[in-house]
A = this chain, B = another copy of it.
Amino acid sequence: MKARVTVTLKSGVLDPQGKAIEGALKSLGIAGVASVRQGKVFDIEIAARDRKQARAALKQAADRLLANTLIENYDVKLSG
């Protein structure tokens, strides 16, 4: 089963890397960019009995390793 876990900073948490990219895009002359926030994405191939079991394993992976839940949100999407 394929899954995508997307990890993004919670709103309110400063994102200096996003700010730097925002500045770089502006100095490249890309029109209209108002803000940029950077996050991470994990494409995971997982073997599981069913979608429920896969989702449980992925939730555990995100909580324990992929995301810092103090400052980050995550979202799990299963496909196939």
How many chain copies does the complex carry?
2
Most chain B Cβ neighbours within 10 Å, of A18, A46, A53, A60:
A46
Bound CA span A18–B32, Å: 33
The minimal Cβ–Cβ distance linking A63 to chain B, given in whole angstroms, is 10
Bin chain A's interface residue count. Answer: 20 to 34
A57 at the interface (CB under 8 A from B): yes
Q: How far is the CB of A61 from chain B (nearest CB, A)?
A: 5
Evaluate contact between A44 and B40: CB separation under 8 angstroms: no
Is A78 located at the chain interface by the 8 A CB criterion? no
Contact of A21 among B18, B24, B37, B65 (CB under 8 A): B65
Question: Is A69 part of the contact surface with B, judged by Cβ < 8 Å?
Answer: no
